[in-house]
Structure 1
């Protein structure tokens, strides 16, 4: 494994498990110190231990859309590890399944708050505290449902489409010293996505040219690339990481 993140500190939201943890794990393996967020302290403590303990990782429990939590995490990242060079906006929710026309508007607002506005808030705070002066890189975790319609998870997809648009705009605003990109995964085998494949994994995977669903490490490697200097001339892009499924007309 390379050491391309030596001396760098990353904040990864929603990182106690699943895709967020895999991203953090990859960054630590390549030399970074990471600050993990999530709602459960016990899960974060386990994640920190798995990543090598307090010399490599710090867990801070809280809600992704809580502005005080955001400010506390950024302060603690800089106080503990000396910088806040990298940001991964991975936290997201999808609390409703069904037609968008029937969706409770309070639920819709919460989806936008967590999936979009929280990502903007994290970016604003890291920018003000560190990146504006020192530069950095941001990756937003979107979804293939933000690239093309996904019936049943319409508001989630709409929020992820908004996140892609925001990624492009921030890339324009924050260059040249800060790069902002996104990834758009298809179904990845995590607890978050269980409802999309449980009991029918073979059927779902058959739609994919690569004939399997994603695993968290598939996303971790791409995010690490986007955050690294290997992607130094790449900004405002959304990398679709989908096993080829969007080529065949599906999003699962």
Structure 2
């Protein structure tokens, strides 16, 4: 599909030092894009950029630091001449347990990073380049934003809000800028360790495609949404979960022969 070719375009990926963000950066670079990877520190950003096969630089920019974010966007435009793709990937979840047991500091951190940062960065790239020239924004949400589960209620609420924000921005920024989201299931990342590390076998067995996700699974979908192959898609949230949201597959298997 020639529409997947990103040669000549430039992408910023927030929270790209590891996991899904790093895989997204590599997928975009493989498709031909210049990629700017952000992390909390310059050292982490540089280390991540050094892992990319392709044209990539690292920029230390905590996603909720407006001055750092503005510097990153301005540097990107100066160095590469454009900012055509923004991946709002940075996320956090310092809160675990019943929602009413959480404090305001945890609440504020989750919503600042998971919701305010995408607003901030989208605003900056729109004013710096995309508002005039067009572009694509992809937000990293979660299937938790589409369902209910114990102990991570604030995180899931922030992702539900991000899904709504994706639709809102798709309307407000049309027709120049497409805005979409991906909603991964449980993926093998450090952020999600509590969800899979001690129970990967059981989780895989209950998932339709019989495994948890890998960062590359999400990265491939993000690269598609950022490309011209998705040129008539906006305001959508693509679920990438191996069928986890369908529910426990075990009762459906039951030893029956396929096609019998």
Q: TM-score, normalised by structure 1?
A: 0.95
Shift of 1:209: 0.3
Q: What residue in structure 1 maps to residue 17 of structure 2? A: 16
Q: What residue in structure 2 maps to residue 33 of structure 1? A: 34
Q: What residue in structure 1 maps to residue 231 of structure 2? A: 232
Q: What residue in structure 1 maps to residue 257 of structure 2? A: none
Alignment of 1:1-252 (within 5 A): 4-52=5-53, 56-248=55-247
Give the gaps of 5 or more residues in structure 1.
Answer: none
> What does the per-residue CA deviation read over 1:53-76, in whole Å, with 9 as the maximum and x for residues that have no partner?
7xx111111211110111011001
Let me know the Cα RMSD of the aligned residues: 1.5
C-alpha distance in structure 2 between counterparts of 1:40 and 1:206, whole Å = 38
C-alpha distance in structure 2 between counterparts of 1:204 and 1:146, whole Å = 19
Q: In 1, are the aligned partners of 2:26 and 2:53 still within 8 Å (CA)? A: no
C-alpha distance in structure 1 between counterparts of 2:15 and 2:105, whole Å = 22
C-alpha distance in structure 1 between counterparts of 2:53 and 2:246, whole Å = 39
Give the gaps of 5 or more residues in structure 2.
Answer: 250-260
C-alpha distance in structure 2 between counterparts of 1:179 and 1:239, whole Å = 14
Shift of 1:204: 1.4
C-alpha distance in structure 1 between counterparts of 2:67 and 2:93, whole Å = 23
Shift of 1:199: 2.1
Shift of 1:249: 6.2
**What secondary structure sits across from 2:168 in the alignment?**
helix
C-alpha distance in structure 2 between counterparts of 1:122 and 1:207, whole Å = 37
Which structure has the bigger radius of gyration?
Answer: 2
C-alpha distance in structure 1 between counterparts of 2:47 and 2:188, whole Å = 20
Q: TM-score, normalised by structure 2?
A: 0.92
C-alpha distance in structure 2 between counterparts of 1:47 and 1:114, whole Å = 20
Shift of 1:148: 0.6
C-alpha distance in structure 1 between counterparts of 2:228 and 2:68, whole Å = 29
Aligned length: 248
Shift of 1:46: 2.1
